[in-house]
Structure 1
Amino acid sequence: MTHDSAHGTGTQDAGAEGAAPRRLTTREAAERLGVKPETVYAYVSRGQLASTRTPGGRGSTFDATEVDALARRTGRREPSPSAAGDLVFRTGITLIEPDRYFFRGVDATELARHHGYEEVAEWIWTGELRPGIRFTAARESLAAARRTAASMPRHSSATDRLRAAVAAAASADPLRFDLSPEGVLNSARSLIPTLVGALPAAGDGADGEAGAEGSLAARLWPKLSARPADAAALAVLDRALALLADHDLAASTLAVRVAASTHANPYAVVSAGLGVLEGPLHGAASGPAHRMLAEVVDRGGAAPVVADHLRAGRRVPGLGHRLYKGEDPRAGELFSLLDEIPRAAPVVAAARDVVATTARHTALHANVDLALAAFSVAYGMPAETGETVFAVSRTAGWIAHAMEEYTERPLRLRPSGQYTGPRPPRPLPAAKAVTPEGAGPAN
């Protein structure tokens, strides 16, 4: 059952030819325009839209033709679902084309070449560049996140710790329910460095505050490697963070939009994203690519390793992307940096050998998971490094999508299930006797 908004009554349909034009309620007009009901009245006050009070003065109605004309002028009409029946979202963050992608209209790879991760995140959030910006964790939230992450079993993955850190940081932030744009941005600028700060140092490294005022890449490095970072290594890491900040409606971002549609706070929407990101077909996809490249280097060639994958019925990791016809532009950008680093040469050669070997039968190109794997293998990092980088980086995109979703009609993402179970009504099921554990069957 559909309920009208507080400002409207039912829709008035035109009858026979010559009858009054079809009238829309405030809520229906807002949905056609893709705005909030309050914005509809702002259009009225500016003279862009005419309204008529309903009998009894309990709301207003609008001419459907006039609303449609305004939607065309403003370009804000809700897109129709695609022919395939996919749900379409209106977003101004990322545009993906067959061979490249853009952040708010700017080529994302070009943006990442000239600006660090924090600057790219600000651009995604606000459409403004803030050169030299550094994100700072709130002391209480960071302390809570560190305590929680440190209490987890030693075998816990980085993503396990990040999920726990988000929950702990949220509990320490009494302002997390402020969903105003500035409130969300304040939470985001604190949350991202909190995630990095909550991770343990790699190896036996000291886990202190060293580098807390540096770039996010510089603060993340000691969580990934016990080796000191050089300028070239930090450049690759920072570039990877900037390139991965968003990628339109990937699975984790869709989960974030659903959470945000309920007006869940920013920490909760990031938790939703992390839960989906951990899937082996999403953020964790670089782990298998890491292990494959390490084996290719050890065995001196890709052919036997690729053959083993195919023999076992496994796809060769790190290859192909459904949105790009050729090489993933993020992979190309990272490989261009790795090409300049002598220590990465054997791993980069191994990655290209994998691509060339599989190309004998199918034209699959390198994706960003292969590039992240090449980076992590070259620097002796753990196999889960790519997943960690992905999670930290993509938090920026999740926040951006949450901010967009907060401006949409709440709870709009409610599809209907197609029931395939037995037809009702059915009788109540008979109770099943419970046999005590370890006992034989009752006779």
Structure 2
Amino acid sequence: MDTVATMRDQEAAHGQDGTRLSTREAAELLGVKPETVYAYVSRGQLSSRREPGDRGSTFDAKEVAALARRNRREPGGSSPTGGDLSVRTGITLIDKDRYYFRGVDAAELAARHSYEEIAEWLWTGQLRPGVTFTAPDTAVTVARRAVNALPEHSGPTDRLRVAAVAAATVDPLRFDLSPDAVLGVARALIPTLVAALPPRRRDHRDEGPLARRLWGRLTGRNPDEASLRVLDTALGLLVDHDLAASTLAVRVAASARAHAYAAVSAGLGVLEGPLHGAASGLAHRMLLDVLDRGTAGPVIADELRAGRRIPGLGHRLYPGEDPRAGALFALLKDVPGAEPALAAARDIVSTTARHTPLHANVDLALAVLTVASGMDATAGETVFAVARTAGWIAHTLEEYEERPLRMRPSGRYVGPRPPQPLPR
């Protein structure tokens, strides 16, 4: 394999004087299918050019050669067993106090486009105005049956994980990992996950944008347009956030060529941790406590006395306020009845700021929405999981284009040195 790779580099080197490569030549040098070459272009990993009169695109040979080297194990870039120390991605960039989806400001994107439109942007690099996702009846039926069989105390992530596995069982084409097939899975799986959750109102109907369908599974209150806008914006803001723990798990699964349902299930398994998707539930309970006591002071004191971090504050990737929180707080001002929860959140931030410079993160903003809308403490976790499913699919698609099983780090053994006697 190394000899073939060297030959590819040598062949590409001949074109480094400005010679352009055809799609077929680029595919051969990269060792991929021609359609994968265009996938690299859509993700910003290759640039293409079409000359007047030419029937197809051409590619810079030097750029193709560099991509071919990156796609293989390189000295200093991988562990001895082939596990990459970093992951190339063209999906999300986090830079100081802002973050971007395929180079576009994520907060501005979420302010102007629906969750479904943002998902399509992540998956394909194209916007589809007005797109909505439809759940297949067969998948919904089996997913609801599986979810309804769970114990009553089951959490939202339990239900979503079971729904994903159930939906996979009725999809005989789930092992087709081609981009078009995976996109078909994504557009059907996300609304299936929502439809599998038990509705909070008997007259709830699954129609319209995904945010409206999800609302009826989070609260029994009638939705107003301002609240629906906050929920839809939250879904769009949370769709991806670079290589969070759950996303890394998804990429490991995709690296092993697990199908998309299994990759999403891997992400849901990690998301359930209190330091990840479940963090908004802790902020929800704290907000209720502040509202009950009338002030944040004693609540913050209790958290610190117990040795706990203040939920909803601080983010390791942002020195200031989480941009997702700022975007949601601005919209929450227009939500009827949200002012008490907003005031409690401001009290929490200002009280804590007297001792440590922590800013609000998206979990606190989600908690304001869930408290103000009469939702359960677990509602934020549900929003997070549904939203992030689209991002996991984007990373799955991206990982399928990489070398299989590349995420195989080597362990550093610290146990007894062999040989040891057999245990009695």
TM-score by length of 2: 0.84
Query: Quick one: distance in 2 between partners of 1:43 and 1:255?
Result: 26
Greater C-alpha Rg: 1
**How far apart are residue 217 of structure 1 and its match?**
0.3
**How far apart are residue 361 of structure 1 and its match?**
1.1
Query: Quick one: distance in 2 between partners of 1:40 and 1:425?
Result: 49
Q: Does 1:259 align with 2:250?
A: no
1:56-71 correspondence to structure 2 within 5 Å: 69-70=62-63
**How far apart are residue 152 of structure 1 and its match?**
0.7
SS of the equivalent of 1:96 reads strand
Q: Deviations over 1:214-246 (max 9, x none)?
A: 000000001000111111110110000000000
Change in CA separation of 1:28 and 1:384 when aligned onto 2, cut-off 3 Å: farther
Q: Does 1:216 align with 2:210?
A: yes
> Which is bigger in relative contact order (C-alpha 8 A, separation at least 6)?
2
Query: Quick one: distance in 1 between partners of 2:9 and 2:177?
Result: 22
Asked if the contact 2:29/2:64 (under 8 Å) is kept, the reply is: no
Q: Does 1:336 align with 2:334?
A: no
**How far apart are residue 38 of structure 1 and its match?**
8.8
Select the residue among 196, 199, 202 that pairs with 1:198: 196
Q: Does 1:234 align with 2:228?
A: yes
- 5+ residue gaps, structure 2: 13-23, 32-59
Q: Does 1:427 align with 2:418?
A: no
| Residue of structure 1 equivalent to 2:95 | 97
The AA in structure 2 aligned to 1:206 is R
Asked if the contact 1:142/1:197 (under 8 Å) is kept, the reply is: yes
| Residue of structure 2 equivalent to 1:14 | none
| Residue of structure 2 equivalent to 1:174 | 172
**How far apart are residue 213 of structure 1 and its match?**
2.9
**How far apart are residue 412 of structure 1 and its match?**
0.5
Asked if the contact 1:136/1:213 (under 8 Å) is kept, the reply is: no
SS of the equivalent of 1:24 reads helix
| Residue of structure 2 equivalent to 1:52 | none
Query: Quick one: distance in 1 between partners of 2:383 and 2:422?
Result: 52
| Residue of structure 2 equivalent to 1:383 | 377
| Residue of structure 2 equivalent to 1:365 | 359
| Residue of structure 2 equivalent to 1:294 | 288
Query: Quick one: distance in 1 between partners of 2:389 and 2:203?
Result: 23
The AA in structure 2 aligned to 1:366 is A
Asked if the contact 1:263/1:410 (under 8 Å) is kept, the reply is: yes
Query: Quick one: distance in 1 between partners of 2:376 and 2:197?
Result: 14
Query: Quick one: distance in 1 between partners of 2:10 and 2:183?
Result: 31
Select the residue among 8, 20, 24 that pairs with 2:6: 24
Query: Quick one: distance in 1 between partners of 2:268 and 2:298?
Result: 35
SS of the equivalent of 2:184 reads helix
Change in CA separation of 1:130 and 1:68 when aligned onto 2, cut-off 3 Å: closer
Q: CA RMSD in A?
A: 2.6
Asked if the contact 2:278/2:378 (under 8 Å) is kept, the reply is: yes
Query: Quick one: distance in 2 between partners of 1:90 and 1:161?
Result: 32
Structure 1 moving runs of 4+ over 3 Å: 25-30, 37-40, 67-82
| Residue of structure 1 equivalent to 2:28 | 41
| Residue of structure 1 equivalent to 2:401 | 407
Query: Quick one: distance in 1 between partners of 2:364 and 2:30?
Result: 50
| Number of equivalences | 378
1:149-164 correspondence to structure 2 within 5 Å: 149-164=147-162
Query: Quick one: distance in 2 between partners of 1:376 and 1:29?
Result: 58
Q: Does 1:280 align with 2:304?
A: no
**How far apart are residue 302 of structure 1 and its match?**
0.5
Q: Deviations over 1:248-279 (max 9, x none)?
A: 10000000000000110000000000000001
Q: Deviations over 1:69-114 (max 9, x none)?
A: 54687698469659xx992111111010111100011100101111
Query: Quick one: distance in 2 between partners of 1:241 and 1:413?
Result: 29
Select the residue among 92, 114, 125 that pairs with 1:116: 114
| Residue of structure 1 equivalent to 2:181 | 183
Identity of aligned residues (%): 64
Query: Quick one: distance in 2 between partners of 1:81 and 1:239?
Result: 38
Change in CA separation of 1:97 and 1:43 when aligned onto 2, cut-off 3 Å: closer
Q: Deviations over 1:354-381 (max 9, x none)?
A: 0101111110000000000111011111
Query: Quick one: distance in 1 between partners of 2:195 and 2:124?
Result: 25
**How far apart are residue 286 of structure 1 and its match?**
0.6
Change in CA separation of 1:27 and 1:71 when aligned onto 2, cut-off 3 Å: closer
Query: Quick one: distance in 2 between partners of 1:129 and 1:138?
Result: 23
The AA in structure 1 aligned to 2:342 is V
Query: Quick one: distance in 1 between partners of 2:163 and 2:180?
Result: 22
Query: Quick one: distance in 2 between partners of 1:225 and 1:186?
Result: 29
| Residue of structure 2 equivalent to 1:244 | 238
The AA in structure 1 aligned to 2:378 is E
- 5+ residue gaps, structure 1: 10-22, 31-36, 45-66, 431-443
Change in CA separation of 1:185 and 1:380 when aligned onto 2, cut-off 3 Å: same
Query: Quick one: distance in 2 between partners of 1:151 and 1:71?
Result: 52
**How far apart are residue 339 of structure 1 and its match?**
1.4
The AA in structure 1 aligned to 2:278 is A
TM-score by length of 1: 0.81
Select the residue among 119, 127, 137 that pairs with 1:129: 127
Select the residue among 301, 308, 311 that pairs with 2:305: 311
